[in-house]
Amino acid sequence: MSELVVKNVTKRFGGLTAVNDVSFSVKSGEILGLIGPNGAGKTTLFSCLTGFHRPDAGSVVFEGRDIAGWSPNNICSIGIARTFQVVQILQGMTVLENVQVGAFLRYPGAAAARDKAIKVLEKVGMSKRAPVKAVNLTLPEKKRLEVAMCLATDPKVLMLDESMAGLTPTEIQEATSMLRQLREDGLALIVVEHVMEAIMPISDRIMVLDSGAKIAEGTPREIASNERVISAYLGDKYVKRCKV
């Protein structure tokens, strides 16, 4: 049982405050949905939690240690992994090799890493694509591969940045059932997604960012009827009209 506790994290780019004093927590066996309009700071928040950006203020505590400012590889080593919004894979290597790179973190031996990678590919339903060069995959496949690479590092916390973008409704069904399975396995998941049909049913809680700040947090039902959220997405006028 582990918990990631984020307190007052702030990240500025020059004059722009991309993440403004954000606090939240997520624990094993839980899916936290993270939504917000474009430019809200979702991706930047991920980068602050995984070492790709150093937060200007705040703490990120995981299993008793403040990991704010740690390097990405050390953060991955203690069990926190993320995917990228713009898909990032090892293009020139095969699907299996991509996953093997992740597996080597916990399984230094070549044979063990290979076994682990094969297992992970089975889990995400990509076994058939194992020998294909990653560059030749379709975009949804690449996104799925990226999830597999993360899973190969045996994370306790997994952050997915729009991994379901561009999927067909049936593929979204598959993806969400996989996320539910991961939650059963005891992972803590933070899922950024614009597709509401995908994120609403699977999230235990949802957090909403707007212009860097957290404007709401609650169950999907609470969020769907939250005025501030509706106005952030659709503008104040829409809220007023709803009220009438």
Ligand X SMILES: Nc1ncnc2c1ncn2[C@@H]1O[C@H](COP(=O)(O)OP(=O)(O)OP(=O)(O)O)[C@@H](O)[C@H]1O
Query: Which positions lie near Mg ion, rule CB under 5 A?
Result: 42-43, 85
Residues in region 58-87 near ligand X by CB under 6 A:
85
Chain residue whose CB lies nearest Mg ion: 43
If one asks whether residue 42 binds ligand X (CB under 6 A), the answer comes out as yes
Q: How far is the CB of 10 from ligand X (least distance, A)?
A: 12
Nearest to 80 by CA among 56, 51, 58: 51
Q: How far is the CB of 197 from other proteins (least distance, A)?
A: 29
Specify the residue, 116 or 214, whose C-beta has the smaller distance to Mg ion: 214
Cβ density class 190-202: b for 16+ within 10 Å, e for less = bbbbebeebbbeb
If one asks whether residue 105 binds other proteins (CB under 8 A), the answer comes out as yes
Instruction: State the Cα–Cα distance between residues 50 and 151, nearest whole angstrom.
Output: 15
In the three-class reduction of DSSP (H, G, I as helix; E, B as strand; rest coil), residue 52 is classed as coil
Residues 6+ apart with CB under 8 A from 218: 205, 206, 226
Q: How far is the CB of 66 from ligand X (least distance, A)?
A: 22
If one asks whether residue 92 binds other proteins (CB under 8 A), the answer comes out as yes
162: its two tokens: 């729009």
Element (H or E) spanning 224, and its range? helix 220-224
Q: How far is the CB of 91 from Mg ion (least distance, A)?
A: 21
- Could you tell me if 149 and 101 are in contact, meaning their C-beta atoms sit under 8 angstroms apart? yes
Q: How far is the CB of 118 from other proteins (least distance, A)?
A: 15
If one asks whether residue 77 binds other proteins (CB under 8 A), the answer comes out as yes
Residues in region 14-73 near other proteins by CB under 8 A:
50-52, 71-73
If one asks whether residue 40 binds ligand X (CB under 6 A), the answer comes out as yes
Give the other-Cβ count within 10 Å of 16's Cβ: 12
Residues of this chain that bind ligand X (CB under 6 A)? 13, 16, 18, 36, 38-44, 85
